[in-house]
Each structure stands twice: as structure tokens, then as C-alpha cells.
Amino acid sequence: MVNQVLYYALTILLAINLLSFVVVGIDKRKSVQNSRRISEQALFFWALGFGALGIYLGMFIFHHKTAKWYFQLGIPLLVALNIYLALRFIIFYLAS
């Protein structure tokens, strides 16, 4: 039972981060095309919702939002928060 919960949790985390990565790529493409953009608040929302690693990787792969200080500072902090909360979740389920 515990292994199943951890498997599903890790699968969900992977999916959220993959989607976050894609969202950054879409925003970068829209930026180049001068099209309607994804808001910075939405990108931070994805990061706060356990997608920070995907946003962070997307920033550097797509060279997007890397000059903004609040992305340089905020996204790594959210990556650390996401990792901390995920580890707390794993430890909670391993202890039960």
C-alpha cells in the first residue's frame, strides 16, 4: 500500500513538472511570436503547485525569464520548498 502511494505521488510529481516545463516552452514561443502570453503569476502558480523543477529547467533550456530577478530568486526557492514538502510526504508515508 505504501509503495503504491509513493509510486502514484512520484508519477504525479513527474507529470506536473513535465507540464510546467511545457508551459515555459509555450510561453517562450508566444514571446517570440508576439502573441498573447502566459502570465508570470501563472508560471509561479505552476511552480508553487509542485512544478518548480520543470519551470526551473524550462527557464534555462528555453532561455526564458532568466533575466528577471524574481524568477532567479523565487523559482530556486520554490524548488527547495517543493523538495522539502515532497520529502516530508515520503517520510510520513514510510513511517506509517
DSSP labels, 48-89: IIIIHHHHHHHHHHTT-STT-HHHHHHHHHHHHHHHHHHHHH
Identify the pLDDT of residue 87.
92
Identify the pLDDT of residue 8.
92
* pLDDT value at 2 more than 80: no
- The pair phi, psi for residue 61, each rounded to 5°, is -70, -45
Domain ranges of the chain: 2-95
* Count of CA atoms in the C-beta half-sphere (13 A) of 68: 14
Identify the pLDDT of residue 32.
97
Percent of the chain at pLDDT exceeding 90: 84
* pLDDT value at 5 more than 90: no
Model pTM score: 0.92
Contact 16, 54 (CB under 8 A): yes
Q: What is the mean pLDDT of the chain?
A: 95
3-class secondary-structure state, position 33: coil
Tell me: the pLDDT tens digits for 7-42? 998 999 999 999 999 999 999 999 999 999 999 999
C-alpha cell belonging to residue 20: 510546467
